[in-house]
């Protein structure tokens, strides 16, 4: 017997409300940014469209203490990925996945720290930095990003790794742990909740919806890339240096060379489209069909994160059916592994040294 008509209408109405919210908020975000653009043009038109020439990368990107620049080509996709590797071959693999707008260099403190015991690989994700960037938006679906990590692991000659992800890289790390738990010895995520927590929370809490407005703004073609590039990439610099969102408000600040490294990478022709395309498929891929993580997990969180509310970190424990530890750093920003590298590294070492058979304590809030 077919279900009653009202019962059949409920999913359709939910879908209508969901997509109305998505596209309505996209339009609102676009309007706000267009007003900002018009204001900038009216105030200083020459400055708005000025871009400094950057023909050569800053020296910090070739610092030998960070490791060796390497490339791997994936057979199935044909894509070539860039990564920086430190530590001897044959040691256990530690794979590092960066967020937005970052690239391998965001893990510079961890490359130096963990190479004594691990083969540490900091990857440029698909579309970022020196990794290949497919032109089609569909090439950045979550399924493709998950397959990238699995194939890269195989190509590096490993069947398992310690997986660490920050921000969007944290999202991918969660999904790898859900889909391929046999590949992950231990999971460490920095400033990103379980994806199911994120999708549910953002629809129920207007404050988080506002913090995540860029997810909606990025659904619009070409305008986000353009807005990032005006005023010589002022928006990009602002993310890393402003008092509200930047690195080192109470921790370690970016050097001039560090900041220039980010601007250099994202100022290359077409360098912003790939990273933003990651977000242009997210509303078609979430919510998840499978949720549970069975890998020992450490979640690190900067309490002063300008983009993610800390309450999501607390809820994440529901989806981890194994050892789980949450540590919230009271003075940490969103860019935690760069902002508080010494503390983050100590916490990672402690987690890696934990006895698997030990029953872990409840999530704690410390430091």
What is the pLDDT at residue 366?
A: 44
Span 358-366, mean pLDDT? 41
Residue 279 bears catalytic tag: yes
CB 212 within 8 A of CB 220: no
> Tokens at residue 274, please?
């790939």
Residue 128 bears catalytic tag: no
Among residues 151, 167, 305, 339, which one is catalytic? 167
Span 264-275, mean pLDDT? 97
> What rounded mean pLDDT belongs to the chain?
89
What is the pLDDT at residue 363?
A: 38
Span 91-99, mean pLDDT? 98
What is the pLDDT at residue 155?
A: 96
| Residue 34 in this model has a pLDDT that exceeds 90 | no
What is the pLDDT at residue 282?
A: 86
Residue 69 bears catalytic tag: no
Sign of dihedral through CA atoms 75, 79, 80, 83?
negative
Separation CA 103–CA 271 (nearest Å):
11
pLDDT tier at 7 (50, 70, 90 boundaries)?
low
> Tokens at residue 104, please?
């391998």
Place of tokens 């999501």: 312
What is the pLDDT at residue 361?
A: 39
| Residue 17 in this model has a pLDDT that exceeds 80 | no
Separation CA 291–CA 256 (nearest Å):
41
pLDDT tier at 31 (50, 70, 90 boundaries)?
confident
Report percent pLDDT > 90 for the chain: 69
| Residue 23 in this model has a pLDDT that exceeds 90 | no
Among residues 105, 262, 279, 323, which one is catalytic? 279
| Residue 61 in this model has a pLDDT that exceeds 80 | yes
What is the pLDDT at residue 280?
A: 92
pLDDT single digits (tens) 118-131: 999 999 999 999 99
| Residue 324 in this model has a pLDDT that exceeds 60 | yes
| Residue 105 in this model has a pLDDT that exceeds 70 | yes
Span 230-236, mean pLDDT? 93
Separation CA 15–CA 9 (nearest Å):
10
What is the pLDDT at residue 251?
A: 67
What is the pLDDT at residue 367?
A: 40
What is the pLDDT at residue 359?
A: 40
| Residue 54 in this model has a pLDDT that exceeds 80 | yes
What is the pLDDT at residue 203?
A: 81
Among residues 33, 194, 278, 334, which one is catalytic? 334
| Residue 134 in this model has a pLDDT that exceeds 90 | yes
User: Residue 16, SS3?
Assistant: helix
DSSP string, 48-96: HT------S--GGGG-GGG-EEEEEE-TTT--EEEEEEES-TTSPEEEE
DSSP string, 278-292: HHTTHHHH-S-S---
CA distances from 105 to 101, 217, 273 (A): 11, 26, 19
Non-local CB neighbours of 96 within 8 Å, separated by 6+ positions: 104, 107, 110, 111, 120, 121, 122, 123, 164, 165, 169
Sign of dihedral through CA atoms 270, 271, 275, 279?
negative
pLDDT single digits (tens) 167-210: 999 999 999 999 999 999 999 999 999 999 998 898 889 899 88
What is the pLDDT at residue 216?
A: 87
């Amino acid at each position: 017997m077919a279900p009653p008509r009202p019962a059949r209408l409920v999913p359709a109405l939910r879908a209508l409300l969901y997509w109305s919210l998505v596209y309505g908020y996209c339009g609102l975000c676009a309007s706000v940014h267009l007003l900002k653009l018009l204001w900038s043009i009216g105030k200083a038109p020459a400055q708005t469209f000025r871009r400094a020439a950057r023909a050569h990368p800053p020296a910090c990107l070739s610092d030998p203490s960070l490791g060796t620049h390497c490339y791997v080509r994936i057979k199935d996709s044909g894509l070539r990925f860039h990564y920086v590797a430190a530590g001897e071959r044959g040691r256990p693999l530690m794979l590092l996945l960066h967020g937005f707008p970052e690239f391998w260099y965001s893990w510079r403190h961890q490359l130096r720290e963990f190479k004594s015991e691990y083969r540490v690989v900091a990857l440029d994700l698909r579309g970022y930095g020196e990794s290949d960037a497919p032109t089609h938006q569909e090439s950045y679906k979550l399924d493709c990003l998950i397959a990238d990590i699995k194939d890269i692991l195989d190509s590096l000659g490993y069947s398992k790794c310690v997986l660490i992800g920050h921000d969007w890289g944290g999202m991918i790390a969660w999904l790898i742990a859900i889909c391929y738990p046999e590949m992950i010895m231990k999971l460490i995520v920095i400033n990103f909740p379980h994806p199911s927590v994120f999708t549910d929370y953002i629809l129920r809490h207007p404050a988080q919806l506002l913090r995540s407005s860029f997810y909606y703004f990025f659904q619009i073609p070409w305008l986000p890339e353009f807005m990032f590039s005006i005023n010589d990439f002022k928006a990009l610099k602002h993310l890393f240096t402003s008092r509200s969102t930047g690195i080192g408000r109470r921790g370690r600040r970016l050097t001039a060379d560090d900041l220039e490294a980010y601007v250099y990478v994202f100022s290359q022709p077409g360098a912003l489209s790939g990273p933003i395309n990651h977000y242009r498929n997210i509303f078609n891929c979430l919510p998840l069909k499978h949720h549970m993580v069975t890998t020992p997990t450490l979640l690190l969180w900067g309490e002063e994160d300008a983009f993610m509310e800390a309450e999501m970190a607390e809820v994440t424990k529901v989806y981890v059916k194994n050892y789980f530890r949450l540590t919230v750093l009271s003075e940490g920003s969103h860019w935690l592994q760069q902002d508080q590298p010494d503390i983050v590294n100590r916490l990672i070492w402690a987690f890696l040294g934990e006895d698997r058979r030990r029953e872990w304590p409840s999530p704690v809030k410390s430091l």
